[in-house]
Structure 1
Amino acid sequence: MRAALAGTTGNAVLMGVAEVGTPIGWVLLPGLLGVSARPRVAALVSAWAGVLVVASVLVPVIPGHRSDPQALLASTLSLTAVPLLAWARRRTRTASVTRAAGPTDVAVFTVPAGPGSAALAVCGSPGEIGAAVPLRGGGLLALVGTVTGAALDTPAGRRAIEQTFRWHARPAASPQRLAGVLDQAVRDLAPAGHLRATIVRVDRSGAVEAARCGSPDLITVAADRAALAGVPAGPALGSTRPAGSTARAGSTARAGSTARAGSASPGGGATPSPVTGRRVAVVAAAFADAHGERWVRVLDQVAADDDPAGAARRLTRGPRGGRRTGPALVVDPGPPSRA
């Protein structure tokens, strides 16, 4: 938001100094900034751009926007359309995300994933990080993780991590690239905290690729048998020093893999690997922490339901009937007839 407002202000100053009075010069950049942002941010950008236009007309210390009615009407209509276009863009992106029926203590969202579908279950457990972003063409990018650290494990900290992921989840983004972005975000937000996460990408053909950063191994189902996927584990995001400095030991995940110490690579040390199976499931480190070494018993649960929403909901069950632990992601990359 601050960057969009600063860009709008800078554009107005530049237009005034350059004596540009045409409406397009005053509203083009605010329009582009607004359309690419969330609807509320777009509305604020449009309102601020309108204030700057009016100020340039009423207080002409330097040449500003043209004051003739047609020019002002053109700018008014353009700035009014910006929040509407941002809303339409967001609605188009999220229209394919639906909430599945379920108990009140867990929310399950279904989304297309290549030819198949995926389900993300969240339940507000401590440190929970979960986001799923549908991509143009039918692909999917998803983040499942657990944050550690007082500055990160707050509603604002968790929301900042999820928003950073959503902002950078573009069709061309790889799991390794997203891991690097999140690694930097964790360092900026809380140098003493870290994020144990798995980033999953499903392309339009249904191919699944994942990067594991201090989190439990993925689970795959072939026919009716479930097994660990064997995806290599990198260090938790934010747990190593940037390249060129002395590294400190990486965190150890209870998934049975020890995070490596060393300098962080551009991808946060994550090595993306292909994952195959008719179903792929991801649980967070909080799940392994809650269930201890017996967490692998989850393997039988992954194949127990016909639809991914039911399987994701089942994975959030707490040990011995305790509080639910999320998030959980289940992906059926193929069409239902193949499952």
Structure 2
Amino acid sequence: MRAALAGTTGNAMLMGLAEVSTPLGWVLLPGLLGVSARPRVAALVSAWAGVLVVLSVVVPVIPGHRSDPQALLASAASLAAVPVLAWARRRTRTATVARAAGPPDVAVFTVAAGPGSAALAICGTAGEIGAAVPVRGGGLRVLLGTVTGAALDTPAGRRAIEQAFHRSAAAPRGALPHLVDALEKVVRDLAPAGHLRATVVEVDRAGSVRAVRCGSPDLVVAADGRAELAGVPAGPAIGSTEPGEPAVPGPVTGRPIAVAGTGFTDAHGQRWLRVLDQVAAGDDPARTAELLTRGPRDGRRTGAVLVIDPEPPARR
């Protein structure tokens, strides 16, 4: 924001000193800066550029923008269009989360993950947390975990955590440690005695995957037809008072990739890694995620589960 406002101010000063009076000279750079920014920043840049245009007309110490009505109208229309164009650009570059067809007792959502795709399966089991946020440019951030504590394991508590993640993950510069810090604050405010065992995953526009584990099971990648642990460093649960080193983000290589919560590992016991062998056999993230939610011995479904295939369909 500061750079955009400084650029707009510098452009106005340069146009005045160079005695450029055409609307194009005063509006072109602010328009480019605004369209390339977020809609809120674009609106502020347009408003500030309009103020500078008016000042150059009202206080003509140095010849500035032409004061005839047609020139002022052209600049006003151009600056008003900048936030609209920025909003339209943001919508076209942000992927949408779509619900896939499936059984009534599980909700499977699909979304682009870089050049590939991801599927998040949610079953509504006790303490389940699952949220996916597409990032402008084709990236993706996902929260998957399990809450512990009476104040957290309620619809309102889980919704507050997921909403906090949505707000923080939507920021383009929200790195994984910042997302964990935002969740930490919400969990401690809601329930000082509760905690959230979670994995936060980020897929960039190129398909590179990074994750941070906070008291949750390791991620799984498919290798030689079997599921293997990804080796992401573990950290304490979010909101936990137990001493421990902060969680450190780690890269995840391989495809496809599966992320399961503690509800999944508790339900399947020592067999949980072998159950995830289905990831290696599946080529459809949505179908694989739905299969992984099946409980042992056809019991109640267990979620949430995330399956990511960071490669485009043409390479699979």
- After superposition, residues 120-159 of structure 1 pair within 5 angstroms as 120-159=120-159
Gaps of 5+ in 2: 1-38, 41-83
Alpha-carbon displacement from aligned partner over 1:91-117 (angstroms, at most 9, x marks no partner): 768762111110000010000000000
Is 1:206 the counterpart of 2:183? The answer is no
Q: Within 1, Cα distance between the matches of 2:224 and 2:112?
A: 21
Structure with the greater alpha carbon radius of gyration:
2
- After superposition, residues 14-25 of structure 1 pair within 5 angstroms as none
State whether residues 147 and 194 of structure 1, in contact with CA within 8 Å, keep that contact through their aligned partners in structure 2: yes
Instruction: Name the % identity.
Output: 70
Alpha-carbon displacement from aligned partner over 1:161-182 (angstroms, at most 9, x marks no partner): 0000000002221222111111
In the other structure, the counterpart of 2:253 is 276
TM-score norm. by structure 2 comes to 0.69
AA of the residue aligned to 1:228: L
In the other structure, the counterpart of 2:271 is 294
Query: CA shift at 1:224, angstroms?
Result: 3.0
Is 1:303 the counterpart of 2:304? The answer is no
Query: CA shift at 1:156, angstroms?
Result: 0.3
Query: CA shift at 1:225, angstroms?
Result: 3.3
- Aligned-residue CA RMSD in angstroms? 2.2
In the other structure, the counterpart of 1:44 is none
Q: For 1:325, which of 292, 296, 302 is the aligned residue? A: 302
- After superposition, residues 50-61 of structure 1 pair within 5 angstroms as none
AA of the residue aligned to 1:225: R
Q: Within 2, Cα distance between the matches of 1:322 and 1:89?
A: 46
State whether residues 283 and 328 of structure 1, in contact with CA within 8 Å, keep that contact through their aligned partners in structure 2: yes
Alpha-carbon displacement from aligned partner over 1:158-216 (angstroms, at most 9, x marks no partner): 00000000000022212221111111110001101000000000000000000000001
Is 1:229 the counterpart of 2:230? The answer is yes
State whether residues 278 and 338 of structure 1, in contact with CA within 8 Å, keep that contact through their aligned partners in structure 2: no
In the other structure, the counterpart of 1:103 is 103
In the other structure, the counterpart of 1:312 is 289
Query: CA shift at 1:295, angstroms?
Result: 1.3
Is 1:178 the counterpart of 2:179? The answer is yes
AA of the residue aligned to 1:127: G
In the other structure, the counterpart of 1:48 is none
Q: Within 2, Cα distance between the matches of 1:218 and 1:338?
A: 23
State whether residues 222 and 279 of structure 1, in contact with CA within 8 Å, keep that contact through their aligned partners in structure 2: no
What SS does the aligned partner of 1:303 have?
helix
AA of the residue aligned to 2:303: G
Alpha-carbon displacement from aligned partner over 1:208-234 (angstroms, at most 9, x marks no partner): 000000001100113533211111110
Gaps of 5+ in 1: 1-34, 37-83, 241-248, 250-260
State whether residues 140 and 202 of structure 2, in contact with CA within 8 Å, keep that contact through their aligned partners in structure 1: yes
